[in-house]
Amino acid sequence: MLFEHKALVLMYHRVAVPDADIWDIAVSPENFEQQLQFLQKKGNVIPLSELVKGVADGKLPKNVVAITFDDGYADNFLTAKPLLEKYRLPATFFIASGNTDTEAEFWWDELEHTLLFAPVLPQTYTNMPGEPAYTFDLQHETQLTPAMQRVHCHWDACAEAPPTLRARLFYALWQQLKPLPHQAQQHLLQHIRNWAGWAYAARPHYKAMTAQQLRQLSQSPLFEIGAHTVTHAALAFHAKAVQVQELCENKQQLEAITGTEVPLLAYPYGNYNHETKAAAAEAGFTAAMTTEEKALRKQSHLYTLGRMQVKNRSGHDFAAQLGTWLNKR
Ligand SMILES: [Zn+2]
């Protein structure tokens, strides 16, 4: 049996071929289709809600897998949905609702585009007054060269140190931005935009799903909408009241859009602390997903369920990755 009596949740983000994929979160449509073909043939794919119910009731189904998507990129609707429908496979989409019905990119995409791909940047970056003192000299890297562009396109930020000065500055700013309260994050982003001084235009293929698309998704018996906070907050960095507010507001927004209950949550960045688990329960969620790589068990804690991040691999390599993964857990 493929899943060896285990229950497994897969985590996707994008089905697309983006300009760069430094976080390794995009699977190409071709590879995604091959992965689905494999899952349809070998796996028993069930809705995440059924799996969670199994954990809650102490009757976990075996040899099963659930498919999930985080963030709410428009390619989930435009590219992943038709393929999931073609193979009749269920999936759950966790949505950071702050970008719904806007043209904006998620902040990490805009930061990546600006720092790694702007044709020209000023030589010296300095934080705003009031921020921790931070200055960075880009030296000879103010102009983007074709060679530098190639290096950035192939950078795997999860596994490799920043390969250029621009990448070092990008990573330092990403680390500064991630834990900030939303307002402070927006301020610093605006400061970075002003500093970069390029006429930034959001890329249409980096957009989030619209409310109309979310509604359509939720109306299909195959698909479920889940919560992922409003602003994609790294919850553990915030006071509990802020965590509860992020979760309640996101849940209400998604329920208003879809007209259906939204009982499942995925923590942005997989980031949580003991207050987050309590906040999730208080906000009315019945279970929450992390990014910790572990299979589900009967005794799994409902607010720290594990998932496996799927990489951009062919069906054959995906099968091998699953095999290795399941052997380890
Ligand atoms: Zn996310």
Q: How far is the CA of 138 from the centre of ligand 1 (A)?
A: 30
Which pLDDT score, from 0 to 100, does residue 19 have? 84
Q: How confident is the model at residue 299 (pLDDT cuts 50, 70, 90)?
A: confident
177 contacts 107 by C-beta, under 8 angstroms: yes
99-146: per-residue pLDDT in tens?
Answer: 999 999 999 999 999 999 999 999 999 999 888 899 999 999 999 999
Neighbours of ion ligand 1 (CB under 5 A): 70-71, 268
Q: How far is the CA of 159 from the centre of ligand 1 (A)?
A: 18
Q: How far is the CA of 71 from the centre of ligand 1 (A)?
A: 5
Pairing status of strand 124-126 against strand 135-137: antiparallel
Predicted structure pTM score = 0.96
Residues of the chain with CATH 3.20.20.370: 7-103+206-328
7-103+206-328 homologous superfamily: Glycoside hydrolase/deacetylase (3.20.20.370)
Q: How far is the CA of 101 from the centre of ligand 1 (A)?
A: 17
DSSP helix/strand/coil, 27: strand
Find, among 228, 297, 185, the residue nearest to 73 by Cα: 228
Find, among 239, 216, 37, 201, the residue nearest to 104 by Cα: 201
DSSP annotation string for 128-184? PTTSPP-EEE-GGGSBPPHHHHHHHHT--TTTS---SHHHHHHHHHHHHHTTS-HHH
171-214: per-residue pLDDT in tens?
Answer: 999 999 999 999 999 999 999 999 999 888 899 999 999 999 99
**264 phi/psi in degrees, rounded to 5:** -115, 150
Which pLDDT score, from 0 to 100, does residue 56 have? 93
Tell me the mean pLDDT in the region 149-162.
96
The CA R_g of the chain, rounded to the nearest whole Å, is: 20
pLDDT at 3 over 70: no
Mean pLDDT (the chain, rounded): 95
